[in-house]
Amino acid sequence: MCKKGPVTLNLTTPFKRVRPRARSERDAGILWEDVTTLVAAAILAWLIVQYVIQVGHVNQNSMHPTLEHGERILVNVLSPRYRLPERGEIIVFADPRGVEHFLIKRVVGLPGDRVEIRDGAVLVNDQPFPEAPTVQPHDEDRGPIVVPPGSLFVMGDNRPSSLDSRDFGPIPADSVRGFAVFRVWPLDRIGLLH
């Protein structure tokens, strides 16, 4: 059996005292950390804005009432580099008429699709296109047109007053700059875009 005795410490080795840093040295270190954090955050924000998400400003009525003039949206600019948009997605693309601005429309037809409009009803490959509930139909007949390879057929939701593929034809798929994904302004209409 082990006897418990008093615990002893050997204090013959002197402790080395650490000199505390001067206040100005500490402040300089904290300031340097703050500056590097801000620079890193600025670089990260710039990369995100350039290559992932951009804020767009709607300045047309062709997507009314889905998108109203003056609204602000987030545009995914990364995905178009890796995939084609799907039918029904809202895209931002370069104006095919050579004007230096962007248009925003809904994808209706993909490469190889046969698009036709009969009495205002959109048919894709002879099947009714599943329209968003916000689409304003326009009683007209168009087509049929087969979407060429590397192209997309796009239409605005405000069909009576939308300049789209019915007028300028299918657009080049490589003209797509992004997918409209989220409305950020006005606050009472904030939310995902469908």
Selecting among 105, 151, 162, 165, the annotated active-site residue is 105
**Active site includes 4?**
no
Selecting among 62, 151, 162, 165, the annotated active-site residue is 62
Q: Name residue 160's amino acid.
A: P
- What DSSP line would sit under 52-100, residue for residue? TEEEEE---STTTTTS-TT-EEEEE-SGGGT-PPPTT-EEEEE-TTS-S
Instruction: Report the alpha-carbon distance of residue 15 to residue 55 in Å, rounded.
Output: 60
**Active site includes 16?**
no
**Tokens matching residue 18:** 């650490």
Residue matched to tokens 């801000």: 38
Task: List, by residue number, the catalytic residues.
Answer: 62, 105
